[in-house]
Structure 1
């Protein structure tokens, strides 16, 4: 490093020239690190998306990280995300987040197409832009996670993200609608509007239908397939109230937030403290006494304690197909857990 060696004795930041000399010395001594150093330099020099696009990317990353955590895989690949098409290309704002993920653990194209077309209740539609990745827990694992990220609109105009987790073995589906909380003074607040009310009514309709399907499965002679397969929450609709968080590259952390069942979310909106001081309906973060955090939610979902069962599965799968159609919402992240063995917390005969 020549004269730049003196900077190594300081605790402060290296000068640009000394930093270049240090990197050059490391590359000379450890050439096998060149690729890793290139990736680090590229990521540090990248400009992450900001504003509404950055918020949307944060939600999509959180949804992908959540399905990976639920599946039992490391979230580390999220740190390798790079802006697809280049950050200055306006088309990047309507490209799914997962397009910026490295192509890790993909299987052969023919197998991918085969599995994609066999997604329960789905048919391929050319009009839908669906990005996908396939992950395994390990090279020997019999568990596979198929992830689809559909985003058909400009990320700056999408209101939220739907996360859908499908567990084929348990015939269980859970759906999460992301809701933004904005900072208001020292706290965080979610403001409920007409759009949020319409979404809430749709979730209520889905849950009511699943309850009816579940009741039929419990009482009918033909449908007693749910006996011995209980759920703490037998309906699919959940809400995650998220703090507005800038998009962070090189980070696999999940967004701080609160997971609520649809019923709990609805109850909070009907409390007296939900009335805003100048009108409107709100949920103040500090007023929510109980909720599921990221760890509790993913654990319950992974072990099959949350989500549909029995014939409710068929009904929700049809809804997922509609969500991924051209008439569906602007951004959907679907994780499908496929395995020949129970996912966990189940007795194996």
Structure 2
């Protein structure tokens, strides 16, 4: 088992919530989730940090039974006493030791490489907890203890007769590909629908919250920010707006909308043709953009309505053989271009777009996700409210939904 998440857990806020102190340093405590970083059912490695001193130890935390409507039991165990300085680790330098939060995948990997340099006993501890928590059983505390005692007894019996379990552990932890993936790499050809679904199914390193609707996914950052993404491909939403994915930023409220197009060919020969369907989609997106520009700033009198740019619609050009831009975004690489750029080009008679022709206005996937979470771009005011009503009606009954927008042209 590999721990995919590492959590920061300040000790001071949880001291008053302890439920017991048994088995040495291990303990349980109760929390509503306000002081504990949001993580899926563990086990999760946690950094037990004392905010006043900045010194931290390591442990494993698991969420247990629900104690009330909002309160959960948490178990902290297998504590490794280190007393290491929080502020001297590069992977932690941008993080606040007094606030519970989750490290993103790159920060977690970096920390796991840094700690062994200052703690010789870390590797042994990490191997031990990986083996001990290999199966996160949904048992009561008493039942979990029985299973662990049985595992310890079995391991001891095997050692007595000279059995070395290291080879078995290596075999079980080996990363094996599915048979049909053996000869595939990032050069495998992808369909447009698969690319759209891939981008809809992840957002940066944010956690996906429980499903709301078959076509809707919502993601939450460690800091509590939220983005909801609507899958619009081949629906009434695409017919009315011209886009495949609709991004809704919760605070400040606003929308960014994205259509996907595939480059045909590779290298210098890669191009996306402007056909009849593409023109139809551009007209629909230009209608949304036009309304967004008309209502931006002038009609949004509250501070959260201010936009540096009212651009709301984009086209993401992807290669038929796409690769992921990085673990932080978990999005496929591509050229994300404002619709306004494409509108000007098509009016000038452009018949196709190439990576070179959109280079002056392109955003990368990671730049676009930053755009989607900032409050400086996208819709506001009446246009946001019109899209709210349209999407609600579309998700309930797409055949009856009408997008009521007052054009700025």
What is the match of residue 270 of structure 1? Answer: 347
- Do the aligned partners of residues 326 and 137 (structure 1) sit closer, same or farther apart at CA in structure 2, a change above 3 Å counting? same
The separation in 2 between residues aligned to 1:241 and 1:187, in whole angstroms, is 14
CA shift for structure 1 position 266: 1.0
Superposition map of 1:249-288 within 5 A: 253-271=330-348, 274=350, 281-288=351-358
Superposition map of 1:1-349 within 5 A: 28-29=165-166, 37=174, 40-41=175-176, 43=178, 45-46=180-181, 54-65=191-202, 68-69=203-204, 73=205, 106-107=209-210, 116=212, 130-131=214-215, 133-138=217-222, 141-149=223-231, 162-183=244-265, 186-214=268-296, 217-218=299-300, 224-225=301-302, 227=303, 229-245=305-321, 253-271=330-348, 274=350, 281-291=351-361, 292-321=363-392, 323-324=394-395, 327=398
Q: Could you say what secondary structure the match of 2:381 adopts?
A: coil
Structure 2 residues not aligned, in runs of 5+: 1-163, 236-241, 400-409
CA shift for structure 1 position 299: 1.7
What is the match of residue 81 of structure 1? Answer: none
- Do the aligned partners of residues 284 and 136 (structure 1) sit closer, same or farther apart at CA in structure 2, a change above 3 Å counting? closer
Equivalent residues, number: 225
Q: Could you say what secondary structure the match of 2:265 adopts?
A: strand
Q: Which has more strand, going by share of residues?
A: 2
* Structure number with higher relative contact order (C-alpha < 8 Å, ≥ 6 residues apart): 1
User: Cα deviations across residues 139-171 of structure 1 (Å, max 9, x unaligned)?
Assistant: xx4334555546679xxxxxx961211112201
What is the match of residue 78 of structure 1? Answer: none
> 2:227–2:373: 8 Å Cα contact kept in structure 1?
no
Could you tell me the TM-score, scaled by structure 1's length?
A: 0.52
The separation in 1 between residues aligned to 2:333 and 2:209, in whole angstroms, is 30
> 1:59–1:161: 8 Å Cα contact kept in structure 2?
no
CA shift for structure 1 position 131: 4.8
Could you tell me the TM-score, scaled by structure 2's length?
A: 0.45
What is the match of residue 3 of structure 1? Answer: none
What is the match of residue 137 of structure 2? Answer: none
Structure index of larger Rg = 2
> 1:60–1:161: 8 Å Cα contact kept in structure 2?
no
Structure 1 residues not aligned, in runs of 5+: 1-26, 75-103, 117-123, 125-129, 154-159, 219-223, 275-280, 329-349
User: Cα deviations across residues 182-220 of structure 1 (Å, max 9, x unaligned)?
Assistant: 1167321110111111111111222222333336615xx
The separation in 1 between residues aligned to 2:348 and 2:234, in whole angstroms, is 36
